[in-house]
Amino acid sequence: MKTSILVVILFSFTLAKQLYDVKKSYVTPVNEINFEKQINKIRQTTKYVTIVHFYKYSDGESRSFASKYDEFTNEYKGIFRIASCDCDEAEKICQKESVSKFPTFRVYPPYPVPAVDYEGPLEIDGILKLATKYIHNNVIEITETNINTFINENPTVPKVVLFSEKKGFPLVYKGLSVEFEKKLSFGIVRSSEKALLDRYNIKAFPQLLLIKANEKKPYAYKGEYKFKPMFDFLNVHSEVFVPGGGSSADSAATKEWMMQVVPQLHQRSANDICLKVEGVICVILMNNGDKPNNELVDELKKLNQQYERHINRGTVFKFMWLDVKTESKWGQALEFQGEPKIVLLNPSKRKRFAIHDGEMTFEAIQRTLEKLISGDLKFKNLGESLPDFVKIDL
């Protein structure tokens, strides 16, 4: 009998220590059994951001703050993964995570970004502000210039477009773009895009449309602009198995260099505009800085227009510019000497280049291009490999 009473007392004490009711709360409890799966595996394989409340029942602040954390979870579940860890019960995990201060609210972004502790006053707004910094954003800016590329690329993938009169990207919308990655593509149109407002008959903001390439009329969302109802609406239309599907961030509509006549040559653009384009000659304006002279760029635009009309002549020219101050390895390889100059690069297996020797005018550069077409231009070998570009962090 005494043993039974002791068991009941111990069981009641254990229940009393729980800050979050597993039957009612959306806060996910993590412990020594599931921490690896719920935290580390998620960081390795997804773009979700996880917030963990490390606490001890006796720490003095967690009990009074738990209800606020619960309310926060109810509103932001889906955007963040929100968890708690009882360091009285999961002592080894807390030691392994070097948690010694209670409460500790720690944000776990996707790898390789390190976890970070919230250091401010104990308030939800501060925790939210910290976690929001690490939310991935698959939403791209849509304008009259790239709307058709966005809609028509990967036609089996439905497109989601938010029309907004506010600056920035709504947190809920960024969260949805992560949730539906590879199933839906997300874009945002600003209220200044008058032509697109007219095209889609937008009279008020915000307005969310889901557009399918094979259907004339878009689906308009009419619910609250909160994660759960928006998720339910989009989930109906999302495609689980999408041939050729991908993230909005992979869309050509996000690649501004694909819409520019004379784009910048750098790590991200190189394959699209030069290095992996079959049969191309890259006409590169080498510039000692990040902004080439507008007059020189205009000359290249005129040349592009000229040679686009004669593409059937067999030689394809792509015009671009290179910041040699940043890409010093390229400057050295292509014999840059400080003043702007034109280099013609053949990026094929033989990897050769020729230097335009003359004035930087439409007529003079055209003469060099014609010499190349006729086979009279002298090239220099670059060797088996091209220089490396400076890495650009996404």
DSSP states of 324-361: TTT-HHHHHHTT--SS-EEEEEE-STT-EEEE--S-SS
Q: Which of 383, 306, 379 is nearest to 351 (CA)?
A: 383
Sheet architecture: strand order including 104-108 = 28-29, 81-86, 50-55, 104-108, 116-117
Which tokens belong to 379? 């090239």
Which tokens belong to 289? 């800085």
Q: C-alpha angle 277/349/354, rounded to 5°?
A: 80
Asked if residues 175 and 234 have their Cβ atoms less than 8 Å apart, the reply is no
Q: How far is 224 from 210, CA to CA, in rounded Å?
A: 15
Q: Which of 199, 214, 209, 208 is nearest to 155 (CA)?
A: 214
Q: Which residue has the tokens 């890259």?
A: 282
Q: C-alpha angle 237/241/244, rounded to 5°?
A: 105
Which tokens belong to 170? 């709504």
Q: Which of 70, 80, 39 is nearest to 171 (CA)?
A: 80
Q: How far is 104 from 54, CA to CA, in rounded Å?
A: 5
> Alpha helices, DSSP H only, in 193-244?
194-199, 227-237
> E strands along the chain, which residues?
28-29, 50-55, 81-86, 104-108, 116-117, 140-141, 159-164, 185-190, 207-211, 219-220, 280-287, 316-323, 341-346, 352-355, 380-381
- pLDDT at position 391: 83
- Dihedral sign, Cα of residue 188, residue 190, residue 193, residue 194: positive
Distances (CA, A) of 382 to 213, 270, 271, 369, 387: 45, 17, 18, 20, 9
Q: C-alpha angle 96/102/107, rounded to 5°?
A: 65
As averages over each run of 10 residues, the pLDDT of the chain (394 residues) reads: 42 57 88 93 94 95 96 95 95 96 97 95 97 96 93 90 96 96 94 96 97 88 93 77 51 67 91 84 91 90 76 72 93 92 91 93 94 89 89 67
- Give me the count of residues in the chain: 394
Which tokens belong to 328? 């010093």
Please confirm whether the linkage preceding 29 is cis (ω < 30° from 0).
no
Q: How far is 124 from 130, CA to CA, in rounded Å?
A: 10
Asked if residues 57 and 14 have their Cβ atoms less than 8 Å apart, the reply is no
Which tokens belong to 16? 């009393």
Phi, psi of 161 (to 5 degrees): -125, 125
3-state secondary structure of 53: strand
3-state secondary structure of 76: helix
Q: DSSP string covering 170-186, please?
A: -HHHHHHHHHTTTT-EE
Residues facing 80 on adjacent strands: 77
Distances (CA, A) of 325 to 7, 292, 333, 360: 74, 12, 13, 20
Cβ neighbours of residue 358 closer than 8 Å, sequence gap 6 or more: 364, 365, 367, 368
Q: Which residue has the tokens 């979870």?
A: 73
Cβ neighbours of residue 339 closer than 8 Å, sequence gap 6 or more: 288
Asked if residues 157 and 129 have their Cβ atoms less than 8 Å apart, the reply is no
CA end-to-end span of the chain = 65
